[in-house]
Amino acid sequence: MKKLLIIGAGVLALFIVLIIIQTVNNNNRLANNDLYDKDDLNAATIDQLNDENYQNIIMPDALAEKLEAGEDAVVYFFSPTCQYCKKATPKLMDVAGEEDIHIDQFNVLEYDDSAYGIEYTPTLIYFEDGKEVNRIVGDHTEDEFRDFLETTKAQ
């Protein structure tokens, strides 16, 4: 019986140590968080903080101000936990770089997206003069993303 208690205590101590290590690791990564305006981020978001494909994060207030000012914007609504977003983002950001188009990235896991009618992720929306003009939903090929982005240049 004593052996069982000792083993149980050892396993419990190991879990506690692992939780502490994970918490310290997340806090260290959050220390350099220049992308988000809050520190209580989901673990999946924390994992993307240093990913080069997720460096154009826009805060909800900044997006609302941009659109209220009547500015044009291409906004990518994504979730760090979305398998389709993980496939689409590298393709989209490569094409955006080639086409020299800035894409604002809105994290729907961290912020409310109800003002934009997002039903599924990923969703890419083109706003002209602050109003939605076009959107595509889901993972697409590079050519399909390119076609969409080229229409934003033409308008």
Q: What is the pLDDT of residues 94-109, one digit of tens each?
A: 999 999 999 999 999 9
Pairing of strands 73-78, 104-107: parallel
* Delimiting residues of CATH 3.40.30.10 domain(s) in the chain: 52-154
- Cα 32 from chain centre: 17
Residue 31's Cβ-side half-sphere holds a number of Cα atoms within 13 Å equal to 7
Residues 103/93, Cβ–Cβ less than 8 Å: yes
Would the CA dihedral through 67, 51, 33, 108 be positive or negative?
A: positive
Q: What is the DSSP string of 73-118?
A: EEEEEE-TT-HHHHHHHHHHHHHHHHHT---EEEETTTS--GGGT-
pLDDT of residue 23: 57
CA geometry: angle 39, 44, 49, nearest 5 deg: 60
Tens-digit pLDDT profile for residues 38-95: 878 898 999 899 899 999 999 999 999 999 999 999 999 999 999 999 999 999 999 9
Q: Is the pTM of this model over 0.75?
A: yes
pLDDT of residue 8: 72
Confidence bin at 24 (pLDDT 50/70/90): low
pLDDT of residue 154: 65
Tens-digit pLDDT profile for residues 123-153: 999 999 999 999 999 999 999 999 999 988 7
CA geometry: angle 12, 18, 22, nearest 5 deg: 145
| Angle in degrees, 0-180, between the axes of helices 142-154 and 83-99, rounded to the nearest 10 | 50
Q: Is the peptide bond before 80 cis (omega within 30 degrees of 0)?
A: no
CA geometry: angle 9, 11, 16, nearest 5 deg: 90
Residues 122/93, Cβ–Cβ less than 8 Å: no
pLDDT of residue 20: 62
CATH of 52-154, one of 3.40.30.10, 3.20.20.150, 3.40.640.10, 1.10.10.10: 3.40.30.10
